[in-house]
Structure 1
Amino acid sequence: MHHQSESRGLGHALRWTLVAVLTGVAGGLAGLGLAALLHVIQHVAYGYSLDTLFSQESFQAGVMAATPSRRVAILTLCGLIAGCGWWAIYRWCKPLVSISRAVRGDSPSLPGVATTCHALLQIVTVALGSPLGREVAPREIGAMLAGKLSSYAALTVDESKVMVACGAGAGLAAVYNVPVAGAIYVVEGLLFSIGWRTVLPAIVTAVIAALVARIGLGTLPQYDVPHYACTPSLIVWSMLAGPLIGLAASQFTRLTDHARSRAPHDSRMLPYCLANFLFIGLLATLLPMLLGNGKGPAQVGFDGAVSVQLAAILLLLRILITWTSLRSGAAGGLLTPGLCNGALLAILLGGVWSVLWPGTPAGAFAVIGAAAFLATSMRVPFTAVALIFEFTRPSPEFIFPVLLAVAGSVATSGYLRQILDRARRPQDDSRTAAKQAGL
């Protein structure tokens, strides 16, 4: 009996290990496949060479080389695909389960057809120029495949939840080449638990996924950023700017949450999406940099190659089109859009600071601002710090101003959230009392 119990325990441990390894491989293949699909659609839509599918030729360069009429036509097509596609998904692909719901609910699984269609539609629309992010799609596919593997291996419900979360982290690690951030995101953003049963599989799956994706995507970071020096001016600025960035990021989150909560899930999506993306296409005739998830503006921000005036225009317009896209019913992530907003806002704040204390490159402000904005808008500060360091690979001493800005941003947004919660409590209590009194 004792040997049988040991045998069953060993068999279960082997199944658990095998599922973790296969989840990493599946997440890596999902990230690689979705990235390839994204690049193919971008190259075909905007007419730049397929020979450079995985090269450093940027989407922004392809968009700027396209004629204004082509941009309008492609964005109109994007609106048609978005409106029809998401209406069809909400109409026929049920149920549509989010990653957080799968991890925290009673059934740790995502439906195959609905999840795949939802993810592919995000990739297609982002490739055509949607201002939303592409990171949700590989996370959804990775989580869905992890759930299938866990079910096939007959893991427990709790073990399956861990694997689903790890699948999401693996997808993130693969598509952006960020194994450290992918592992931290699993623990900080999904499981809220630190222990070897969560940390170990999170690390294993994220590392394997990133290594698999590197076969096609290479090892270069997402952004090519100079090694800016950590100066006393930058340290002081980070302490002062962090709270301001946190305030802006918390308002951005409220704005996007409001847009999502009011978005239609019926036939109104077609005219809404058509109008929204046609509007974006018309804006892009003058500012092609607006198209896409925000990687282009973020890169020029990190390079310090954007003026304060242009940064202000891009920031306002990108917030606007992100809101209108979500409000029309389009789906997508907010990681790169948030990073872009943080970089542009930091350039504005840095421009003011440089009048008082000159000498700091604008790109240095942008890197720090991107981290502080992401930390609050995504509500995962440690993941945000890891993302910025894996995205840009700055000099090691840059960790000091980044942490100062992130701390100020998160503390300010948390304090603001407490104030809003206290303000809502009397209103909720009065509504409850009115219902109990039959009013």
Structure 2
Amino acid sequence: MPPERPPAGRATPRWLVRLVVVTALVGVGAGIGGGLVYLGLHTLQHLAFGYSEGDFYQGLLQAPPVSRVVALAVAGVVGAVGWWLLRRWGRRVPAHAVVSVEQAVGGRRMPPFATLANAALQVVIVGLGASIGREVAPREIGALWAGWLAERAGVSARERRILIACGAGAGLAAVYNVPFGGAVFAVEILLAEVSFATVLPAFATSAIAALVARVVVPANPLYALPPLHPTATVVVFSLLAGPLVGFAAVGFVRAARFAQNHRPRSWTILIVMPVTFIAVGIAALWLPAILGNGRALGQLAFAASVPVVVILVTTIVKAGSTIATIGAGAAGGTLTPSLAIGAGLGLAGGAAWSLLWPGAALPAFALIGAAAFLAVTMRAPLTALILAMEFTGQGTDLLVPVMLCVAGAVAVGYLLERTRVTGVA
């Protein structure tokens, strides 16, 4: 039975209660979905590389190097066959084609089987080491669940749009334990509207989802960093580095967009994806941190635990392998790869800067670069800033230099994209 509409702009108790219940259920479902994605991903990683303790990067180092190539080969075959069948079915039966979260927020209905199959394939390939983000899968599951609930509750088109965006943000919040970032993602990126009607359900759903997912998702930050403090050299670096990071991020975005537009559209994916994945696996024999969704590279950059030259080379190869993975036809995100690439570039730039003006911890430069690079690739400075802080567990001490670098990077990104669209460049 559809909810009673508020007459003359006034909310009835029944309408409010039902909307509150639906909002809470969106958070619970997104939390369960995010927790399942986390479990599936880590189970596959442990099985593929044969480790029982430690993180993914430690598991890669403990496993025989050939396992990196074998795992990527399996991922390439599974992904190629799965997406070829899924997309072929979608072309023949358009009602069952994969619908993105953005399209769902715009009003399209997400088909359950295609959406879940698309999410499952992403979990499988990332779990086996594919160089692409995992965040799209929980967002799709959260949005699918929210859309289904909205239909059953009979809410208005605007309420449905808000709930789907909140479900997607809650899925992100759940899988990474970033409740604030998930909420802001829904409001800033998917809805592009800051109002009581959008902020309240976004906060509620992301908070509930993060709490539910904490049954399996660790409550600690994704990256362990020491407390960082601003110094004069860090502030000046952030001013100078912002435009440079912006140039690099725009280059990455354009390359990824080109790869996406030229990915295999037919049976050729059955050849292109396995070959590409095997090539990435071979590169990982020397640079294991390029594998996975970017956490391994992020750990190296934030800890500065290996020579900076190695991290810089790994960063460049990681960017190339992520673009190649997208171009091979894989679905997935670039959130955590972008964060890791930005951290690697920030660390390398900070190490060079410290030769001229010492006095700052290298992880500070990595965090600044990560936030700025992510802000440009997401086209969402506020979301990127909050995610970078939640991922690293940092407080407000480093906000000023991070914000300065983000502002410079986003300004350059905006100008470059604007000139590209208008044809002035």
TM-score bin, normalised by smaller chain: over 0.9
What does the per-residue CA deviation read over 1:81-132, in whole Å, with 9 as the maximum and x for residues that have no partner?
1110111110125321111111123x3x311111000001001100000010
Say which is worse superposed, 136-145 or 321-330, in terms of deviation.
321-330
Structure-1-length-normalised TM-score: 0.92
**Counterpart of 1:76 in structure 2: which amino acid?**
A
The alignment status of 1:68 with 2:61, answered yes or no, reads no
One-letter amino acid matched to 1:277 = F
How far apart are the structure 2 equivalents of 1:263 and 1:9? Answer: 50
- Is 1:412 the counterpart of 2:412 in the alignment? yes
Identity of aligned residues (%): 42
Which residue in 1 is equivalent to 2:49?
46
Instruction: Determine the structure 1 residue equivalent to 2:421.
Output: 421
SS of equivalent to 1:155: coil
Deviation at 1:193, TM superposition (A): 0.8
Select which of 20, 40, 54 maps to 1:37.
Answer: 40
User: By how many angstroms is 1:72 displaced?
Assistant: 1.3
Structure 1 position 8, deviation (Å): 8.8
Which residue identity is paired with 1:194? V
**Contact 1:237–1:353 under 8 Å retained in 2:** yes
Give secondary structure in 2 for the equivalent of 1:215.
coil
The structure-2 alpha-carbon separation of the partners of 1:344 and 1:26, relative to structure 1 and needing over 3 Å to count, comes to same
Residue 113 (structure 1) aligns with: 113
89, 93, 99: which one pairs with 1:92? 89
Residue 359 of structure 2: aligned partner: 359
Q: Which residue of 2 aligns with 1:18?
A: 21
Larger radius of gyration: 1
* Contact residue 259 and residue 327 of structure 2 kept, 8 A: yes
Aligned partners of 1:347 and 1:5: how far apart in 2?
54
* Matching residue's letter, 2:19: W
Offset of residue 394 of structure 1: 1.9
Aligned to 1:82: 79
Could you state the TM-score of these two structures normalised by the residue count of structure 2?
Answer: 0.95
Report matched runs for 1:110-259 at 5 Å.
110-259=110-259
3-state SS of paired residue (1:217): coil
Structure 2 equivalent of residue 431 of structure 1: none
Q: Once the 2 structures are TM-superposed, how far is the Cα of residue 311 of structure 1 from its aligned partner?
A: 2.0
The equivalent residue for 2:278 is 278
Distance 1:23 1:8 in 2: 21
**Structure 2: stretches of 5+ with no match in the other structure:** 91-95
Equivalence for 1:436 = none
1:397 aligns to what SS in structure 2?
coil
How far apart are 1:224 and its partner, in Å? Answer: 0.6
Aligned pairs, number:
415
Give the Å deviation of 1:424: 6.2
Q: What is the RMSD of the two structures over their aligned residues, measured on CA atoms?
A: 1.7
Write the distance in 2 (CA, Å) between the matches of 1:424 and 1:255.
20
Q: 1:5 to 1:289 in 2, by over 3 A?
A: closer
Q: CA–CA distance in 2 between the matches of 1:349 and 1:336? A: 20
Letter in 1 for 2:78: I
Tell me, in whole angstroms, the C-alpha distance in 2 between the residues paired with 1:422 and 1:197: 35
1: CA distance between counterparts of 2:336 and 2:376?
14
Q: For 2:179 and 2:207, how far apart are their aligned partners in 1? A: 5
Please give the alpha-carbon distance, in whole angstroms, between the structure 2 residues aligned to 1:365 and 1:283.
27
CA displacement, residues 141-181 of structure 1 (integer Å, 9 cap, x when unaligned)? 00000000000000111110100000000000000000101
- Deviations 1:322-349 (CA, angstroms, capped at 9, x unpaired): 1111111011110010001101111221
Any stretches of 5+ residues in structure 1 without a counterpart?
426-439
Q: Helix, strand or coil: the match of 1:23?
A: helix
Change (3 A) 1:4 1:13: closer
Distance in 1, Cα, partners of 2:17 & 2:104: 24
- CA distance in structure 2 between the partners assigned to 1:268 and 1:408 by the alignment: 41
Q: State the partner residue of 1:432.
A: none
1:351 Cα deviation (Å)?
2.1
2:386 maps to a residue whose letter is: A
User: Which portions of structure 1, spanning 4 or more consecutive aligned residues, are displaced by more than 4 angstroms?
Assistant: 3-8
The structure-2 alpha-carbon separation of the partners of 1:160 and 1:229, relative to structure 1 and needing over 3 Å to count, comes to same
Question: Shift in Å at residue 285 of structure 1?
Answer: 1.6
CA contact (8 A) 2:6 2:15 kept: no
